[in-house]
Amino acid sequence: MPTPLTVATVNVNGIRAAVRRGMCSWLAERDPDVLCLQEVRAPDEVLCEILTDALGDGWHIAHCEPTDTGTKGRAGVAVATRLPVGEQRACLDPRFDGAGRWVELDVDTPAGTVTVVSVYVHTGEADTPKQDDKYAFLKAMTARMAELRDAGRPALVCGDFNIAHRNEDIRNWKGNLKKAGFLPEERAHYDHWFDELGWVDVVRSLHPGVDGPYSWWSWRGQAFDKDTGWRIDLQLATPELAALAGEAVVDRAASYAERFSDHAPVVVAYG
């Protein structure tokens, strides 16, 4: 890849609220080549206006808004870039077409086309129908990720996975062993994606054996100040793309008051 490609992913927890809290300052400073968003919670015209105000014209946006009953004002995922683009898709099980949780965009980079996905996995709740929905979504994800791997094109799946993989990905792992987000059945999906499908957790590959870097902290209490966090916002890449990753950082706010979301952006430079 002749020039670095900067990809940022962040769960904004409502993009209008994030803008009120200062998101545009971060966005203008970072100016990523590709931006993946989760929990957009806004229509296309609002998202386009926000990006244009922050960074200027010329954005191509693949945005999947939720249309299922009861989802208005929730979920919503997007991939935005000013690079040339190709096809946009939402290629999971039809059951999730209106969920606003998966969108793909083919992005034409200087080194060729890369398929970029923004995903927002269900939070879930152990031993409830919400957890059944989460497992069904993860099953559909796995099938599509196998297809993307076999397509012969570099691919990147970015987003809020709502699952911590290993003990070092969650500060209070002992207290969460039986809770959604750290259940063995959830974590096993990572093992399958990495060990059998060949996907690479880019941040972990560049930060081996360390706690975190965490990307989500509860708004409540002193979780942020004490760094009691979870690493659940990831960039998963096919091996040839992962090999180009030279830097991966979490843009953790300097203070609780300066956060624009309960998630911090995860930024990777490829090339």
Q: Which residues are annotated as a binding site for Mg(2+)?
A: 11, 39, 160, 162, 262-263
Q: Which residues have CB under 8 Å from 249's CB, separation 6+?
A: 213, 266, 267, 268
Question: Of 63, 122, 165, 263, which one is the catalytic site residue?
Answer: 263
Q: Would you say 92 and 140 are in contact if contact means Cβ atoms under 8 Å apart?
A: yes
Strands 77-81 and 34-38, by their bridges, are antiparallel
165 is catalytic: no
Binding residues: 11, 39, 160, 162, 262-263
CA distance linking residue 176 with residue 186, whole number of Å: 13
| Active-site entry in 33, 120, 122, 233 | 120
Q: Strand 5-11 and strand 34-38: pairing?
A: parallel
Query: How many residues are there in the chain?
Result: 271
Instruction: Provide the 3-class DSSP secondary structure of residue 25.
Output: helix
Let me know if 120 is a catalytic residue: yes
What count of other Cβ atoms lies within 10 Å of the Cβ of residue 192?
14
Catalytic residue among 160, 169, 201, 233: 160
221-232 as b/e: b if 16+ CB within 10 A = eebbeeeebbbb
If you ran DSSP here, which 8-state letter would residue 230 be given? B
| Active-site residue flag, 256 | no
Catalytic residues: 120, 160, 263
